[in-house]
């Protein structure tokens, strides 16, 4: 199963071009309404800036909804170049706003295109990414002697231990991408010689898993 990549959290970066300051803010958004609400929030936060160039990609692949605006900059010099960079990132379910504080020097058409594109590149360079995948929530009980090996097996498959109960045995609640389930089952068999049973508690079609 192909992983769908999304921002792990809101991230900001700033660059300066001929005294103009460009601040790019990127965040996850899973609907057009959520993206619009984030854009409105950023506009309110930076209410004294001259331009707030919005862009978003909701969904992934052929079903993506794309949007951008120049927000008062000359047509085609802000939203489109910024969106082109975002589209090349491999991300979906993402919203961004490039805030510009005008520094008194006009950048020209080419200068604006480069500045807005470079601003988005700057924030993407530091943006933590996550995977949007279908997952199982699993329950398994194991002896204390196998706990460390099991913990390492889960970590190697980028799973998450949601809960640990230390009783007569160690009972783990684990969240794991369905695409990694076969490998996990094989790992559990190797660790326990087939003595540990895995119970699937629930399945989620869209779960955000951080990438280490």
What CATH number is associated with residue 169? 3.30.70.240
Is the domain of 27 the same as that of 99? yes
E runs forming strands in the chain: 4-7, 11-17, 20-28, 51-58, 65-68, 94-101, 129-142, 160-166, 170-177, 199-210
Same domain, 136 and 110: no
The per-residue pLDDT for range 60-86, each reduced to its tens digit, is 877 899 999 999 999 999 999 999 999
- Using CA atoms, how far apart are residues 212 and 201, in angstroms rounded to an integer? 25
Q: How many CA atoms lie within 13 A of 49 on its CB side?
A: 21
CATH number of domain containing 23: 3.30.230.30
Q: Which residues of the chain have pLDDT under 50?
A: 1
Domain boundary among 68, 94, 127: 127
Which of 73, 93, 127 represents a domain boundary (last residue)?
Answer: 127
How many Å apart are CA 51 and CA 43, to the nearest integer? 9
The 3-state DSSP composition of the chain as helix, strand, coil percent (nearest 5) reads: 35, 40, 25
**Do 119 and 41 belong to one domain?**
yes
Q: Are residues 22 and 120 in the same domain?
A: yes
Q: Give me the pLDDT at residue 1, please.
A: 42
Whether residues 100 and 86 share a domain: the answer is yes
Q: Which residue range forms the structural domain that includes residue 155?
A: 131-210
Handedness of CA 54, 86, 32, 128 (dihedral sign): negative
Domain count, the chain: 2
Among 127, 151, 179, the domain-final residue is 127
Note the pLDDT of residue 212.
57
Examine the domain organization and report whether 147 and 71 are in the same domain. no
Same domain as 140, residue 168: yes
Instruction: Identify the bridge partners of residue 194 per DSSP, sorted by sequence position.
Output: none
pTM: 0.76
């Amino acid at each position: 199963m192909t992983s769908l990549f999304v921002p792990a959290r809101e991230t900001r970066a700033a660059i300066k071009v001929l005294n103009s300051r460009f601040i790019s803010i990127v965040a996850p958004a899973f609907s057009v309404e959520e993206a619009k609400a984030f854009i409105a929030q950023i506009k309110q936060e930076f209410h004294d800036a001259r331009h707030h160039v919005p862009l978003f990609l909701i969904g992934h692949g052929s079903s993506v909804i794309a949007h951008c605006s120049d927000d008062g900059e000359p047509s085609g010099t802000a939203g489109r170049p910024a969106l082109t960079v975002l589209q090349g990132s491999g991300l979906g379910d993402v919203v961004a706003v490039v805030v510009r504080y005008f520094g008194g020097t006009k950048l020209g058409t080419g200068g604006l295109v480069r500045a807005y594109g470079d601003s988005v590149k700057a924030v993407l360079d530091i943006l933590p990414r996550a995977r949007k995948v279908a997952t199982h929530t699993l329950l398994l009980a194991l002896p204390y002697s196998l706990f460390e090996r099991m913990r390492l097996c889960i970590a190697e498959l980028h799973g998450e231990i949601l809960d640990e109960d230390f009783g007569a045995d160690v009972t783990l609640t684990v969240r794991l991408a369905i695409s990694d389930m076969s490998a996990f089952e094989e790992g559990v068999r190797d660790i326990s010689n087939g003595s540990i049973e895995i119970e699937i508690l629930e399945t989620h079609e869209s779960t955000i898993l951080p990438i280490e």
